Amino acid sequence: MILSVLSSPALVSGLMVARAKNPVHSVLFPILVFRDTSGLLLLLGLDFSAMIFPVVHIGAIAVSFLFVVMMFHIQIAEIHEEVLRYLPVSGIIGLIFWWEMFFILDNETIPLLPTQRNTTSLRYTVYAVKFLVPSLILLVAMIGAIILTMHRTTHGAVKRQDVFRRNAISFRRTIMRRTTDPITR
């Protein structure tokens, strides 16, 4: 019963991501999906993954999605008008994805999800490279994003203000000076 309580909102929210009119709603519905998926992982007994899911997926990934939507003012209504035009290609891709999901569920070759008890010793000895490669990926992501935002464009540097100087500007020196000085021209 708990399975259906958790999985049906996940399915509905997943559908609403694509159908929502407001683009911010499209980002908020995956948060519901992640929450339900975390509950499903708890039901499977994978407590570590279930606790990481809200931290990483909601706290980091959904927040990044939200930044993308709000920075670039994505208008979902324009995308919805074009849905029928893209239906053949998107239908084929959707069917391939559907087939992949059933293939994974029916097949026994996919290994179990790791829990803390199973693979801590494995992760750092056998899979040590897989432990260090994500750090390089994260490094590249951070440096790339910082370069892209802080890069000097031809118009000039990124606009900044010095907060302490801004607070230290005195009213008397800037405004009063212009009104009390004799006009010399």
Other CB atoms within 10 Å distance of the CB of residue 29: 22
Residue 162: both structure tokens together: 């010095």
As a dihedral over the C-alpha atoms of residue 172, residue 175, residue 179, residue 182, rounded to 10 degrees, the angle is: 80
Question: Measured from the CB of residue 55, what is the shortest distance to other proteins in angstroms?
Answer: 7
DSSP-derived secondary structure for 110-144: SPPPP-HHHHHHHHHHTTHHHHHHHHHHHHHHHHH
CA–CA gap between residue 102 and residue 33 (Å, rounded): 20
Of residues 56 and 96, the one with the C-beta less far from other proteins:
56
- According to CB under 8 A, which one of 3, 15, 59, 103 is a site residue for other proteins? 59
d(CA 21, CA 74) in angstroms, rounded, equals 11
**Count of residues binding other proteins (CB under 8 A)?**
40
Applying CB under 8 A, does 134 fall inside the site for other proteins? yes
Residue 132 vs 176, nearer CB to other proteins: 132
Long-range contacts of 50-59 (CB under 8 A, 24+ apart): 58/31, 58/34
Residue 79: CB minimum distance to other proteins, A? 16
Interface pick for other proteins out of 1, 158, 168, 169 (rule CB under 8 A): 158
Q: By CB under 8 A, tell whether 8 contacts other proteins.
A: no
Q: Which is nearer to other proteins, 5 or 56 (CB)?
A: 56
170 binds other proteins (CB under 8 A): no
In whole angstroms, the minimum distance from the beta carbon of 73 to other proteins comes to 6
The neighbour count for residue 62, using CB atoms within 10 Å, is: 19
Window 36-55: contact mask with other proteins (x via CB under 8 A): ------------x---x--x
Instruction: Please state, in angstroms and rounded to a whole number, the distance separating the CA atoms of residues 105 and 45.
Output: 18
Stretch that binds other proteins, among 2-10, 18-26, 113-121, 176-184 (CB under 8 A): 113-121
